[in-house]
Amino acid sequence: MYHRLVKVCIFADDFIISGVLKSVDPLPNLEYEIFTSEVVDFEVLRDFSIIILNTAFSSQMIRKIYDAKKSESIFVVCSNFQDFRVCSENYKYFDELWTGPLDAEKIAFLFGKIVSRIKKNEDSCLTEKYLDTLIDSLPDLIWFKDARGAHLRVNKSFCEAVGKTKADVQGRGHYYIWDIEPDEYAKGEYVCLESEEIVLREKKNCLFDEMVKIKDSMRKFKTYKSPLFDRNGDVLGTVGVARDVTDLQNLQIEMNILFESLPFGVIATDKDQHVTGGNQKSLALFSAQSKGLLGKKFDGLLKAFADDCSSEQRLIEDSRDGVFLLASERVFKIQQEKLLDVFSEFAGYIYLFLDVTKEYYQKHQLIFDANTDYLTKLNNRRKLHDFLRDTPCMSGTALLLADLDNFKQINDQYGHDEGDRILVAFAHILRDNFDPENIFRLGGDEFAVLFPGTRHAKEQMLETAHRCARVIISELEKLSIHQDLSVSIGIAVTSSDDEDFGSLFKKADIALYDSKCSGKNTCCLWCGGA
């Protein structure tokens, strides 16, 4: 990724070292430039990374080269036995001592060690650049500490938070950096130092909620702290990453205030429908299930609500209009809305419990009125039509059609009020003897009673329906409403699953006609094609 030009200056009386170095292949990311001179030029020394002295020298020359070169340049002195005293006296002023005799292999080996060290330094510098660039690009506070608590490295966000430079922070402890006295720390809700001790003791990653004072205001952080280990597995110190969640928590508080101010219940879940929060109005609905509400599956919560036998509350599901909750004589429609994150990705659900008590009962009253005969309160022809449309006609289904005899004459002679009284009285007879759900007033003085299919034999169902018809006739005679009032009944039963209600009605109607023709006040069974 990087390219480093290593400039080498050789002061020598020959070109032996220069020739060897030019033949050495450069290490990756390095390039070598070799310069050779017989005369030492102190003015150019600062341009070189490596300086090799292989000519007659003195203590004064060694020290002058030391003073003229860059501090990071590597100074090599080539010495024979006769130069030992001068080298011994000036060992502080050079970095490498190459002792003669020097052959090509030895020169290449010693030079290779130097450039390897330069490459390691370059790699280390690049790694530090990587680290600094990474931590400085993050908005979180990041720091490295030794085991004593001294800060070794921090990022820009950390410096901005404490109002100090990296140089100010380097090597300093907690109290100085955060401008807090030990007594103030002891009295406050601070846990920064204690959490460091926990990490050092437990030797594992830990998450803490920490309060920090920044510029005369308290801030709350979610802090991740991890131990740093050396090669032997011993703890060197810690690294910490702190995320300021003060604004997030303030937002959460504002959201809670908003939720609580809403006139309806609210429950929030994650994408898997686990409950993450809710307001008091929603918790009141689930009082029996509210303990440990967080984390529960929303569907499971509804099921537990519906299965709660100790409560009169119950759940109503309507596939057309949604899900309705009945609680404390109130009806709540559960409206589901999707939650999207900042990337418009699905993140969860919001469930709204909207009080629709008035609308719910008004709608059901309208439906009841539309399907109920106003006078007799029995199901009307429309309800029968809906029933026949939604219910399969099974084998063994019986239909009883009843028609009041001489009703028109009585109604004309005694008036409509008397006719209404007769119809209501007859409806009571039917309701007292049959399931109200299966009784219908078809209009005028004609009524129908359905016996849903039980797959019994046709003859058995005919006998059952015939017995019921005799009960109707008997009950009407007991009332003695009018001497001329009686009832004619026709009965038919389906013989297979292939038969439809239209065919069944025709059969029952024929049987009713036969009953009328037989002198009325009787019951006839449809037997054709049996």
- Any idea where the domains of the chain sit in the sequence? 4-132, 138-249, 264-361, 372-525
Q: Is the pLDDT of residue 230 over 70?
A: yes
- The values of phi and psi at residue 431, to 5°, are -65, -35
How would DSSP label each residue in 179-230?
T--HHHHHHTT--HHHHHHHHHHH-S-EEEEEEEEETTEEEEEEEEEEEEE-
The answer to whether domain 4-132 and domain 138-249 are alike in fold is: no
Q: Is the pLDDT of residue 529 over 70?
A: no
The answer for residues whose C-beta is within 8 angstroms of residue 151's C-beta and 6 or more apart is 143, 144, 145, 169, 170, 171, 172, 173, 177
> Which range among 44-58, 420-434, 493-507 shows the weakest confidence by mean pLDDT?
493-507
> Which range among 101-115, 193-207, 262-276, 278-292 shows the weakest confidence by mean pLDDT?
278-292
Query: What is the spatial distance between Cα 411 and Cα 419, in angstroms, rounded to a whole number?
Result: 5
Query: What is the spatial distance between Cα 312 and Cα 303, in angstroms, rounded to a whole number?
Result: 14
Task: Determine the average pLDDT of the residues in 89-96.
Answer: 94
Give whole-number Cα distances, 174 to 148, 179, 213, 218, 265, in Å.
11, 8, 12, 16, 46
More confident call, 80 vs 143: 143
What does the pLDDT read at residue 439? 93
- Confidence class for position 68, pLDDT limits 50, 70, 90: very high
Task: Count the Cβ atoms, other than its own, within 10 Å of residue 399.
Answer: 23
Q: Is the pLDDT of residue 312 over 60?
A: no
Query: Minimal CA–CA distance to 55: which of 26, 85, 35, 83?
Result: 83
What does the pLDDT read at residue 145? 93
Query: Minimal CA–CA distance to 23: which of 105, 121, 100?
Result: 105
Q: Is the pLDDT of residue 301 over 60?
A: yes
Q: Please provide the average confidence, as pLDDT, over all residues in the chain.
A: 85
Angle between helix 416-433 and helix 458-479 axes, rounded to 10 deg: 140
Query: What is the spatial distance between Cα 118 and Cα 112, in angstroms, rounded to a whole number?
Result: 10
Strand partners, 333: 324, 354
What does the pLDDT read at residue 530? 41
- The values of phi and psi at residue 65, to 5°, are -65, -40
Task: Determine the average pLDDT of the residues in 444-460.
Answer: 75
Domain 138-249 CATH class label:
alpha beta
Query: What is the spatial distance between Cα 277 and Cα 39, in angstroms, rounded to a whole number?
Result: 83
Q: Is the pLDDT of residue 349 over 50?
A: yes
Burial of 97 (0-12, 13-18, 19+ CB in 10 A): middle
Question: Which option is the CATH number for 4-132: 3.40.50.2300, 3.60.15.10, 3.40.630.40, 3.40.190.10?
Answer: 3.40.50.2300
Task: Count the Cβ atoms, other than its own, within 10 Å of residue 380.
Answer: 19
Task: Determine the average pLDDT of the residues in 462-468.
Answer: 73
What does the pLDDT read at residue 209? 86
In this structure, whether the domain defined by 372-525 belongs to CATH 3.30.70.270 is answered with: yes
Query: What is the spatial distance between Cα 333 and Cα 325, in angstroms, rounded to a whole number?
Result: 6
What does the pLDDT read at residue 318? 64
Q: CA angle 95-100-101, nearest 5°?
A: 150
Task: Count the Cβ atoms, other than its own, within 10 Å of residue 427.
Answer: 19
pTM: 0.51
What does the pLDDT read at residue 131? 94
What does the pLDDT read at residue 290? 52
Task: Count the Cβ atoms, other than its own, within 10 Å of residue 154.
Answer: 25
More confident call, 308 vs 195: 195
Largest CA distance in the chain: 156
pLDDT digits 0-9 by tens, 235-289: 999 999 999 887 766 666 777 777 788 888 898 899 899 988 888 888 777 765 5
More confident call, 247 vs 27: 27
Q: Is the pLDDT of residue 77 over 80?
A: yes
pLDDT digits 0-9 by tens, 415-430: 888 889 888 888 888 8
* CATH dotted code for 264-361: 3.30.450.20
| Whether the Cβ atoms of residue 331 and residue 361 lie closer than 8 Å to each other | yes
How would DSSP label each residue in 78-102?
EE-GGGHHHHHHTGGG-SEEEESS-
Query: Minimal CA–CA distance to 443: which of 470, 423, 464, 413?
Result: 423
Query: Minimal CA–CA distance to 465: which of 391, 386, 527?
Result: 527
